């Protein structure tokens, strides 16, 4: 930052307003970005962060207002024009072609060709170079269709694609939401490198610790309005939260100790093609955490218990009774609920309204002889929207128009009522703002108080540690460790999750 050119403003947005049907997403927002800085953008779910970024990268056009790049007024009609100018974006929602492999995705739109034939060899070499430059040790199968890869691996591919454009401005909309600590570290090292090169970076995250660690300045949005911009060193977390949500949070992890009751779920010797001899139990009033690296098999385990994937052997007991759960429907009937990871692929139907999403998994409760009781359905939907504070113009709004965090709340909300006794939450707070996270934790408290049991899978370690009574560590399809007690540390969890097998 001592060099003069570093201070130069590369992007300036003046009085940007963006209206959607029924919503003013941005209201007269000014924003500027300097060369060689990492600029944090924070705010509640639905505050307008993604909308602002989409205006920069040409995916949306402002209703009013002007954008200047290197002092020149610009207007991008589409993302292509922004990319050509030198703006690379990693979108909040997965933006990747599922049946293409990693290489094809990274070079999408900039394939190396000879007479229109793609030069695969060269692309592979280039991809490996890129991975090496970046310092990624993660072993991604470059020729695997990306739909078979995990969420974090896919995110990394998206980041690589944006980097590969060698952009002047790099936009990262919640890039860390599905990454584990190790990968976040790699990403941050990378960002620091870019910063040195003079690239301007905008970084959005609901993990405020990350924002404090990596950014130079922070801009806060609330309700589509800019609250302010400040150098990172001049604010603390409490200030920042107050700026974001206009109130204080007493405790970030309001964990309550509940007396532990009888076993609700026992899993004995469960194996699938990937999972190997899994044994664990969940008792009434208990929150059981699952930690592990990407690809350690946590999600597979949860989906198998939930009846969505076939098991090869092993037994499952509910309330001491052996059960065969062959389908999701049976799981639900038995009071076993799963809030899956990856809301857009597994959690919600984007073309469905808020209401239709919220009631989908419990539709029987709103039906008389196959006929839907719409009044009852709407009442319930309104109730949940209020309870979870879902920001939406109405319950009839299509889910695709909601902000990322509000989609996550929908995905959570559809399992937040009914006769659930055992709740599996797979990354339940991914993309959810600080204030709403606390609401979700409180909701979990309420569940365990009512004698439910919770399985929590989360790559957010502070959250996992603070909320879990016991943490199982998974590695390569097996449970390798159990941690319990008051003083579990992040280091302990990481150490056992990452320990290399050397047999």
Partner 1 sequence: MQNHNKRVKTLSLIIERYATVFAYIVLFIFFSFLAPGFLTPYNVINLLRQISMLSIVTCGLTICIIAGDWDLSVGKLAGLAGIVAVSLITSGIPTYIGILAALGTGILIGCINGLLITKVGIPSLIVTLGMMTVCSGISLTWTKGLAIYKTLPESFTFWGSGYIGPVPTPIYIMVIVIFLTYILLNKTKTGRYIYAIGGNKTVASLSGIDVERYRFMGLVICSSLAALAGIILMGRLGSGQPTAGGEFLMEGLASVFLGMTTIKPGKANILGTLIGVLIMGTLSNGLTIAGVPHYPQEIVKGTVMISAVVAAVWKAEISI
Ligand X SMILES: Nc1ncnc2c1ncn2[C@@H]1O[C@H](COP(=O)(O)OP(=O)(O)OP(=O)(O)O)[C@@H](O)[C@H]1O
Residues that bind Mg ion (CB under 5 A): 49-50, 92, 403-404
x/- contact string, 81-100, with ligand X (CB under 6 A)? -----------x--------
Q: Cβ-count burial of 320 within 10 angstroms (0-12 exposed, 13-18 middle, 19+ buried)?
A: exposed
Distance of closest approach, residue 83 Cβ to ligand X, in angstroms: 20
Binders in 270-329 for partner 1, by CB under 8 A: 306, 308, 327-329
Select the binding partner of residue 285 from partner 1, ligand X, Mg ion, none (C-beta < 5 to 8 A, by kind): none
With respect to Mg ion, which residue has the nearer C-beta, 35 or 49?
49
Cβ-defined contacts of 243-252 (< 8 Å, 24+): 244/42, 244/43, 244/44, 244/47, 244/220, 244/433, 244/434, 244/435, 245/44, 245/433, 245/434, 245/435, 246/222, 247/435, 249/434, 249/435, 249/438, 251/438, 252/434, 252/437, 252/438, 252/466
Q: Is residue 59 a contact point for partner 1 (CB under 8 A)?
A: no
**Of 255, 293, 302, nearest in space to 469 by CA:** 255
386 is a site residue for partner 1 (CB under 8 A): no
By CB under 6 A, name the one of 11, 13, 34, 45 that touches ligand X: 45
**Residue 211 or residue 270: which is nearer to ligand X going by CB?**
211
Give me the least distance between CB of 298 and Mg ion, in Å please. 25
DSSP letters, 206-272, are S-HHHHHHH-SEEEEEETTEEEEEEEGGG--HHHHHHHHHSS--S-SS--------SEEEEEEEEE-
Asked whether position 427 contacts ligand X by CB under 6 A, the answer is: no
Decide: helix, strand or coil at residue 85: helix
Restricted to residues 2-31, the positions that interact with partner 1 (CB under 8 A) are 19, 21-24
CA 37 to chain CA centroid, Å, is 24
| Nearest residue to ligand X on Cβ basis | 405
| Residue 372 touches which member of partner 1, ligand X, Mg ion, none, C-beta under 5-8 Å by kind | partner 1
| Total number of residues that touch partner 1 (CB under 8 A) | 38
CB of 175 to ligand X, least distance (A): 12
Instruction: Please check whether residue 78 is in contact with residue 279, taking contact to mean a CB–CB distance below 8 angstroms.
Output: no
Handedness of CA 177, 182, 188, 191 (dihedral sign): negative
**Tokens 């590695």 belong to which residue?**
475
Contact flag: residue 278 with ligand X (CB under 6 A): no
Instruction: Print burial letters for 206-236: b (CB count within 10 Å at least 16), e (below 16).
Output: bbbebbbebbbbbbbbbbbebbeebebeebe
Tokens for 94?
A: 């997965």
Q: Which does 120 bind (CB under 5 to 8 A by kind): ligand X, Mg ion, partner 1, none?
A: none
Is residue 49 at the binding interface for ligand X, with CB under 6 A as the rule? yes
Contact range with ligand X by CB under 6 A, out of 43-51, 76-84, 95-103, 420-428: 43-51
> Which of Mg ion, ligand X, partner 1, none lies near 360, with the C-beta cut-off 5 to 8 A by kind?
partner 1
Residues comprising the chain, all counted: 503
Residue 404 touching ligand X (CB under 6 A): yes
- For the chain, the 3-state helix, strand and coil shares in percent, each to the nearest 5, are 35, 25, 35
Per CB under 8 A, contacts with partner 1 among 417-446 are none
Bridge partners, residue 90, by sequence? 172
Among the listed residues 10, 16, 23, 336, the single contact to ligand X using CB under 6 A? 23
Shortest Å distance, C-beta 424 to partner 1 = 11
**Residue 406 contacts ligand X per CB under 6 A:** yes
**CA 30/CA 53 separation, integer angstroms:** 13
Candidate segments 128-136, 230-238, 366-374, 473-481, binder of partner 1 by CB under 8 A: 366-374
Distance CA 34, CA 490 (A): 35
According to DSSP, the β-strands at 263-271 and 200-204 are unpaired
Q: Does 219 bind ligand X (CB under 6 A)?
A: no
Q: What does the binding site for ligand X look like in residue numbers (CB under 6 A)?
A: 20, 23, 25, 43, 45-51, 92, 391, 401-406, 431, 433
Q: What does the binding site for partner 1 look like in residue numbers (CB under 8 A)?
A: 19, 21-24, 223-224, 306, 308, 327-329, 331-332, 338, 340, 345-352, 356, 360-361, 363-364, 367, 370-372, 391-394, 414
């Amino acid at each position: 930052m001592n060099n003069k050119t570093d201070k130069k403003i590369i992007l300036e947005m003046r009085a940007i307003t963006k209206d959607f049907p029924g919503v003013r997403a941005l209201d007269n927002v000014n924003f500027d970005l300097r060369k060689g800085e990492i600029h944090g953008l924070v705010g509640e779910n639905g505050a307008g962060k993604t909308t602002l970024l989409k205006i920069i990268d040409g995916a949306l056009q402002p209703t009013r207002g002007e954008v200047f790049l290197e002092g020149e007024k610009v207007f991008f009609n589409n993302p292509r024009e922004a990319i050509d100018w030198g703006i690379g974006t990693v979108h909040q929602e997965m933006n990747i072609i599922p049946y293409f492999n990693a290489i094809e995705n990274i070079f999408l739109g900039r394939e190396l060709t000879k007479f229109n034939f793609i030069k695969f060899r060269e692309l592979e070499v280039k991809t490996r170079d890129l991975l090496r430059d970046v310092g990624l040790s993660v072993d991604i199968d470059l020729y695997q269709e990306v739909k078979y890869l995990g969420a974090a691996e896919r995110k990394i591919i998206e980041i690589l694609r944006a980097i590969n454009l060698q952009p002047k401005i790099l936009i990262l909309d919640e890039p860390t939401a599905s990454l584990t600590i190790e990968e976040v570290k790699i990403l941050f090292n990378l960002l620091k490198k870019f910063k040195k090169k003079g690239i301007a970076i905008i970084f959005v995250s609901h993990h405020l610790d990350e924002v404090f660690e990596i950014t130079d300045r922070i801009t806060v949005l609330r309700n589509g309005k800019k609250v302010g911009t400040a150098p990172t060193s001049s604010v603390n977390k409490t200030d920042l939260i107050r700026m974001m949500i206009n109130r204080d949070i007493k405790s970030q992890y309001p964990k309550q100790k509940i007396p532990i009751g009888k076993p609700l779920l026992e899993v004995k010797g469960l194996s699938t093609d990937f999972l190997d001899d899994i044994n664990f139990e969940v008792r009434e009033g208990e929150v059981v955490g699952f930690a592990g690296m990407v690809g350690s098999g946590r999600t597979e385990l949860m989906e198998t218990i939930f009846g969505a994937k076939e098991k090869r052997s092993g037994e499952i007991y509910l309330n001491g009774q052996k059960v065969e759960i062959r389908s999701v429907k049976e799981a639900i009937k038995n009071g076993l609920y799963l809030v899956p990871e990856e809301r857009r692929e597994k959690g919600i139907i984007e073309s469905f309204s808020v209401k239709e999403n919220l009631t989908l998994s419990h539709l029987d409760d709103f039906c008389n002889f196959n006929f839907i009781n719409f009044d009852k359905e709407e009442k319930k939907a309104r109730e949940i929207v209020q309870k979870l504070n879902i920001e939406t113009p109405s319950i009839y709004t299509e889910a695709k128009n909601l902000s990322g965090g509000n989609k996550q709340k929908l995905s959570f909300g559809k399992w937040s009522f009914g006769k659930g006794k055992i709740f599996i939450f797979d990354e339940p707070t991914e993309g959810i703002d600080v204030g709403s996270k606390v609401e979700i934790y409180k909701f979990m408290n309420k569940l365990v108080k009512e004698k439910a049991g919770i399985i929590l899978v989360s790559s957010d370690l502070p959250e996992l540690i603070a909320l879990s009574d016991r943490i199982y560590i998974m590695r390569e399809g097996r449970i390798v460790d159990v941690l319990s007690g008051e003083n579990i540390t992040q280091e302990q969890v990481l150490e056992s999750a990452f320990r290399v097998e050397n047999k």
